[in-house]
Amino acid sequence: MYLDQTIGQLLKEKAQRLSGNEAVVYSEEGIRHTYEEFYELTGQVAKALMALGVQKGDHIAAWSTNRFEWLLLQFGSARMGAVLVTVNTNYQKSELEYLLKQSDTTILFMMDKFRDTSYFEIVQSIVGTTGNNGQVKSNSLPKLKQLVFMEENEATGLLSWESFIKLGESITDNELSERENTLDPHDVINMQYTSGTTGFPKGVMLTHHNIVNNGYQVATAMNLSEKDRLCIPVPFFHCFGCVLGVLACVSVGATMVPIIQFDPELVLKTVEKEKCTGLHGVPTMFIAELNLDSFNVYDLSTLRTGIMAGSPCPIEVMKKVMNLMGMDEITIAYGQTESSPVITQTRTDDPIERRVETVGKKHPIVEVKIVDPVTGKEVPTGEPGELCTRGYLVMKGYYNMPEATAKAIDSDGWLHTGDLATIDEEGYVKITGRLKDMIIRGGENIYPREIEEFLYTNPSIVDVQVIGVPDEKYGEKVAACVQIKEGESVTEEEIRSYCEGKIARYKIPEYIFFVDGYPMTASGKIQKYKLRKLAEELKEKSVKII
């Protein structure tokens, strides 16, 4: 079933049907709003944007953690037709400047700082001095006209959030209604930039239709309803937060319980206090929560479901989440930003083997096929190849990058994911790696995921990432970057001995690096290309590389 609605129409329907239900709760900050109240607040933001002269289709950007203002902006911009460009919280000067220029952003909404990075200083260094109330005239960013501060305290030269909202008082309900009536579900409404692991980041254009329907399909797979309360510690700037979290909740009237910035202790405290029934996270988040000394202090008995995604999910971690956190109905979701993002998902009643060994089946009303990366022809059931998908979920394209769009989406409308996968006779998908991560050793194709899953069974290993490093004789050799459990001790030879007779000899890692962590994107994806580069430099030395 398709939802033929804009984001604004979806929220309005919930505000009318479930007016008194809590829509959003920021537990630590003491922010609580019903669906009726939340709808009213998003209308104020929509009007304020209109008062600033924002037209339908204009691009505005948000650079912030999961603040309440971000959430209001997501829905407020959607209600009046602006395209929300989401900015990675880890961005530095060159990355931000590239995004603002490439996206043709007209207004930047920003918080003061993140960790040890001053957003204010970075923006000042790019645009120079600002005029009254954050007006911008920048030669390097000719489209950027306005800066808005997303915090309560004032910032010199910026339009404060309070002043921004006040501007909206000049816009009538009828004017907002007229604007909303011009919107179409197939309008682009959200733009997210890919991580840029190869080449420059690309702006993925997503429509109301893309992400409203994906959020609903995700919620359906989780059996999410208006009775659920979902803790959302994953970042809003990524699809995991703003679609799998926020829109999944709104699509069924569930309560959003965001965490402004991930902290494992705060997550468990919030789950207990707010009696959350669902919890999202990337594997490293769940690992951090499970490894807390205070883990057993918290009452997590209300937890039922959630999603673990963002990077391959270790089987042993998944089992602990189900058994120790009580999340019997947790699901695994797989996809990418270009597919809105979820393509496949396990279901709450799938056998545990399916939920820990696969990424589930394709969502309804979605097509999936596996093709030979060289010939492009569909491969037999069970054979590995590149996963392709087609349907409502495929992006409109990359912003101002027609060649890259044509490379990603073929003439028949199939999105080529770049992921290697297999599909079994029952339709369950296994992701075996990235095309670019596949290791070719002496003519043998090696899929890192297979080795990682095996090494996770070693009781001394808490996490592992397998990569290929260059070799003159074989082309590539296998390297494993291993994290050891606290208090455990294991040697390279003991790990290799553990592999002997259990996996093929050519798959046994020839280099083993003991690490404290992995380079990661802000959305929790491990950057294997950085690991590969570090391993190449240190492959002759068995030392910590991080």
Rounded Cα–Cα distance for residues 192 and 88 (Å): 9
Instruction: For residue 490, tell me if it sits in a domain.
Output: yes
∠ CA 531-536-539, rounded to 5°: 105
Distance of CA 325 to the CA centre of its chain: 22
- Kindly report the backbone phi and psi dihedral angles of residue 114, in degrees, each rounded to the nearest multiple of 5, phi listed first: -135, 120
Which of these three, 157, 182, 203, is where a domain ends? 203
Which of these three, 172, 203, 234, is where a domain ends? 203
Instruction: For residue 92, tell me if it sits in a domain.
Output: yes
| pLDDT tens, the chain, 546 aa long | 789 999 999 999 999 999 999 999 999 999 999 999 999 999 999 999 999 999 999 999 999 999 999 999 999 999 999 999 999 898 888 889 999 999 999 999 999 999 889 999 999 999 987 878 899 999 999 999 999 999 876 667 789 999 999 999 999 999 999 999 999 999 999 999 986 544 578 999 999 999 999 999 999 999 999 999 999 999 999 999 999 999 999 999 999 999 999 999 999 999 999 999 999 998 889 989 999 999 999 999 999 999 998 766 777 788 899 999 999 999 999 999 999 999 999 999 998 889 888 999 999 999 999 998 878 999 999 999 999 999 999 999 999 999 999 999 999 999 999 999 999 999 999 988 777 787 878 767 677 877 998 899 999 999 999 999 988 777 789 999 999 998 999 999 999 999 988 887 888 999 999 999 898 876 677 888 888 888 887 776 644 444
Rounded Cα–Cα distance for residues 85 and 310 (Å): 20
Helices and strands in the chain: count of H runs, count of E runs: 18, 28
SS3 per residue for 127-152: HCCCCHHHECCCCCCCCCCEEEECCC
Find the CATH number of the domain harbouring 473: 3.30.300.30
Note the residue count of the chain. Answer: 546
Contact 232, 246 (CB under 8 A): yes
CB crowding 177-208: b at 16 or more within 10 Å, else e: eebbeebebebbbbbbbbbeeeeebbbbbbbb
∠ CA 12-18-22, rounded to 5°: 100
Instruction: For residue 143, tell me if it sits in a domain.
Output: yes
Instruction: For residue 476, tell me if it sits in a domain.
Output: yes
Element (H, E) at 530: helix 528-538
Instruction: For residue 142, tell me if it sits in a domain.
Output: yes
Instruction: For residue 426, tell me if it sits in a domain.
Output: no
The burial class, CB within 10 Å (0-12 / 13-18 / 19+), for 302 is: middle
Domain total of the chain:
2
Query: Which tokens in the block code for residue 390?
Result: 């087609």
- Kindly report the backbone phi and psi dihedral angles of residue 478, in degrees, each rounded to the nearest multiple of 5, phi listed first: -85, 130
Provide the residue range defining the domain that includes 449. 439-538
First to last CA, the chain: 47
Contact 244, 342 (CB under 8 A): yes
Contact 97, 123 (CB under 8 A): no
Find the CATH number of the domain harbouring 107: 3.40.50.12780
Contact 437, 469 (CB under 8 A): no
- Selection from 259, 264, 210, 263 nearest residue 236 by Cα: 259
- Kindly report the backbone phi and psi dihedral angles of residue 77, in degrees, each rounded to the nearest multiple of 5, phi listed first: -65, -40
Name the strands in the sheet holding 105-110, side by side, starting at the edge strand that comes first in the sequence.
Answer: 159-160, 146-149, 105-110, 59-63, 83-86, 188-193, 203-207, 397-398
Instruction: For residue 249, tell me if it sits in a domain.
Output: no
Instruction: For residue 413, tell me if it sits in a domain.
Output: no
Which of these three, 203, 233, 255, is where a domain ends? 203
- Selection from 396, 70, 50 nearest residue 208 by Cα: 396
CB crowding 62-99: b at 16 or more within 10 Å, else e: bbbbbbbbbbbbbbbbbbbbbbbbbbbbebeeebbbeb
- Selection from 436, 500, 226, 214 nearest residue 336 by Cα: 214
Q: Report the largest interatomic distance among the alpha carbons of the chain, rounded to a whole angstrom.
A: 74
